Structure 1
């Protein structure tokens, strides 16, 4: 059966990826050099490209193994696979370029390499998507099942059973429950798999039934049974997962961390806590902000000139905001108001028809053009292109006492635009709704999610009725 041959399947995935890369090589070669659709200079011999394509394919497979890409992913969303595919092929291309430089293979077409990279990402993503959809379909039909035994028939075990039944496409089937207090639970027992026996009979049922995973759903007072259960599962080679009895008190998706050699439950899973994710996000921020500054340089100069000619005072307005890890920084904006005295701008909201605004400032605020200098904040590391919008210290102190989880937004760098802003929540809108979307973004960050937010911001436009 498939579930008994995971090692073979991993090798099959690796071979499929390698063959797909070679097919992409042939297609890219035809598109670049034989189709007549793209002009080109005289290429290197075909055999040289075959050699480098084979080396690239081997590197991509090796990096995929290194990144655990060939491990079971039935619990993962496709966005995880897509992001990993992009990472694998960008890293593989970097290694290939390094090899080409070392071996002085300077005549390889750069446009061909770009075409090869893009086609690899597209083709492999497509076949992985089709494969994932196909597997989900067959699992719903009852094939490729994973069999689960739940230890604990109380409210915790039943809650897990109810939730699992909502996702038939994952291909999990509950064999039954084990519990020491069978008669206590039977009164409220309906529409559930049977209670097979007591917890001490776990080894017997793992020998008798085909069990892939054991879910421990016992209350806290039964924690002394955990060593016995885990040892039995380890002996049988069965995976063991524990549902903590206090999971309902956790504010979000928890995960295990390690601190000073001790495993800890981290109550909030933040993808950007991982170094590789922070690295890729920061690299993208630098590339995007530099590109934006270069492309928008004429517009920046025009706005600066307009501000200087229409009202006295500085061109750029600096204001203290709270950023990553609750550290304050100075955020830059084009000045849209007359020069203020004191700290009124730090403690007052801007309102519709605010008399402090200049005529040009009203236009800049309405079109969000006053935010453009924040690309320099991105360069300096204060901000990211995408993230929760930063707030002034005065209002942070006010909101953190009024709005639950408000301070969670400071776990990552603030952004020029964000999931809340791209959904229209800016200006005079609900802070509670903004925080919900900010936390969703923080817990579900991916490179593709950032691209989606940027695209959505551009498509919906920068003009907003709540932007005063």
Structure 2
């Protein structure tokens, strides 16, 4: 994987993204050439066309990222990728129309845009048709040697078999540190020279998946492996990179303390994030007010009771605050004020509320909390005090998610379905810790773009 601004991007995704960008630039140029041929006129100079072509390519590629064109399913299935390409191109053209209205200097002729869009769709579909399943083949995967053959190594074996995995295990080496869970493992005693063996396998990385490292850690071997140019990694760091989450099962406090992350040099990025929150939340409250009022009217017409409700949540540094939401449940949803997890097809949700939740309209009033500075647009979702008390007692490191400001959308929301149990909360905590540890403005922008996919395809929305 390539690390961009502390976030890991798979080689396959980066390669395909670069190819797609080139195809989009060529499609934009093709649109100009077809327009010039149609009117038998002379093309504008390249220097004049370049900003327009770049705008076209960037906007369409951002739309592709947002709707999940570079997701695991889309990389593995043409049938899955093509519909998302259609949606991405459609959204991209709509966004381009808005940009052309606001910035006339980068405007395409309508016929140029039509030709370029058709060519882009053909080119992008053709790239995926030609590459097919080769994008997920071992050719694009890093070769890894795993030291260990116990349950930890078995987890890596399962992860390597998972669709979209960016690595292939060249060999498992049993270090005699516990029971063997990987049948094909090679015993360390049968390998005369471990560094030479690793190099001969063509591995670019060695991962420590030992069950007991106190007596089994082969320091001399690892030092020699390292000096051959092969990267040596521990299990927690490897899983963080490959899964985009902090793995609680392999985590220990010293790793959190000494590993890269939780940077204090965030002053400028925090100022920029706050300015973004103020501008966008104010715009949402002003422009979205008609939608909010219509939704509130629909809630009142369907059932008695207030259209809005306030709910106490836990935010930054464990401080409580109140969020404002449109009511989507019956008034008697929680008898006696006892907090209850939301469930799939929850019978407490009203008909209007179900629509509001699917379209995320019930979340719009939370822009007021963002404007006040109690929340941000991006961050871990704030939980209710009753849930927080229980989860802090059950889950290690749960309090650490409150070291960053809570948000309306977040890394956990785009990577894991709606949580309705302690086990779901555990999985989401792993993503929240990854966000807190690796926060950068780039990650915020990526989350905001990918939130489009969750809105269009609301997996797990309740």
1 CA distance for matches of 2:149 and 2:316?
A: 43
Tell me, yes or no, if structure 1 residue 264 matches structure 2 residue 259: yes
Q: CA deviation at 1:234?
A: 3.7
Q: d(CA) in 2 for partners of 1:305 and 1:158? A: 54
| CA–CA distance in structure 1, aligned partners of residues 106 and 180 of structure 2 | 74
Check conservation: 1:217, 1:245, Cα contact below 8 A.
no
The match for 1:382 among 374, 381, 387 is 374
From 214, 218, 227, the counterpart of 2:206: 214
Matched, 1:399 2:387: no
Match in the other structure for 1:172? 168
Asked if the contact 1:289–1:376 (Cα under 8 Å) also holds between the matched residues in 2, the reply is no
* CA shift for structure 1 position 435: 3.1
SS of the residue aligned with 2:173?
strand
Q: Which residue is equivalent to 2:27?
A: 24
- Contact 1:178–1:202 (Cα < 8 Å) also in 2: no
1:180-233 superposed Cα distances (whole Å, 9 cap, x missing partner): x5xx98x9688314336467722332455533332333432147633x344423
5+ residue gaps, structure 2, are 1-11, 59-64, 76-80, 82-87, 240-245, 263-268, 329-333, 341-349, 436-445
Do the aligned residues in 2 keep the contact of 1:281 with 1:447 (CA within 8 Å)? no
Q: What are the within-5 Å matches in structure 2 for residues 312-323 of structure 1?
A: 320-323=312-315
Name the CA distance, whole Å, in 1 between partners of 2:460 and 2:171. 49
Partner of 1:191, secondary structure, is coil
Q: Deviations over 1:151-199 (max 9, x none)?
A: 34555445544653556975624245374x5xx98x9688314336467
Range moving further from structure 2, 21-30 or 431-440: 431-440
- Measured against aligned partners, the alpha-carbon deviations of 1:122-173 in whole angstroms (never above 9, x if no partner) come to 788757755775324643xxx5675443334555445544653556975624
Contact 2:145 2:207 in 1 (8 A): yes
Distance 1:124 1:389, change over 3 A: farther
**CA RMSD of superposed structures (Å):** 6.7
The alpha-carbon distance between structure 1 residues 416 and 236, as it changes in their structure 2 partners (threshold 3 A), is closer
For residue 251 of structure 1, report the CA deviation from its aligned partner: 1.6
SS at match of 2:170: strand
- Equivalent residue, structure 1, for 2:443: none
Quote the Cα distance in structure 2 between the aligned partners of 1:203 and 1:423.
Answer: 42
Task: Tell me the equivalent position of 2:6.
Answer: none
TM-score normalised by the chain length of structure 1: 0.52
**1:451 matched to which residue of 2?**
452
Decide whether the 8 Å contact of 1:149 with 1:214 is kept in 2. Answer: yes
- RCO greater where, 1 or 2, for CA within 8 Å and sep 6 or more? 2
SS of alignment partner, residue 46 of structure 1: coil
Question: For the structure 1 residues 327 and 203, does the alpha-carbon distance in structure 2 shift closer, same or farther, using more than 3 Å as the test?
Answer: same
Deviation track 1:267-316 (CA, whole Å, cap 9, x = no partner) reads 9xxxxxx989979995996498347525426637968999xxx99xx997
Structure 2 residue aligned with 1:235: 227
> 2-side partners of 1:397 and 1:234: how far apart?
43
- Whether the 8 Å contact between 1:214 and 1:238 is mirrored in structure 2 is yes
1:348 aligns with 2:340: no
Correspondence for 1:413: 406
Q: Kindly provide the CA deviation profile for residues 11-51 of structure 1, in whole angstroms up to 9, marking residues without a partner as x.
A: 9979845642332213444788888xxxxxx9x96223x33
TM-aligned CA distance change 1:224 to 1:459, over 3 Å: closer
Partner of 1:46: 43
Q: 1:331 aligns with which of 317, 323, 334?
A: 323
Q: Residue 241 and residue 279 in structure 1: after superposition, are their counterparts in 2 closer, same or farther (change >3 A)?
A: farther
Contact 2:282 2:371 in 1 (8 A): no
Aligned-pair distance for 1:107?
A: 7.3
Aligned to 2:288: 293
Superposed displacement of residue 77, structure 1: 4.7
Assess, with a 3 A threshold, how the Cα gap between structure 1 residues 456 and 206 changes in structure 2: closer, same or farther.
closer
Residue from 143, 147, 154 that aligns with 1:151:
147
1:225 and 2:225 are equivalent in the alignment: no
Q: Structure 1's 251 and 33: CA in aligned 2 closer, same or farther, altered over 3 A?
A: farther
Answer yes or no: is the 8 Å Cα contact 1:289–1:379 preserved in 2: no
- TM-aligned CA distance change 1:216 to 1:298, over 3 Å: closer
8 Å Cα contact 2:144/2:206 also seen in 1: yes
Bigger Cα Rg: 1
* Contact 2:325/2:366 (<8 A) preserved: yes
Deviation for aligned residue 1:413: 2.1
* Mapped partners of 1:333, 1:136: distance in 2: 43
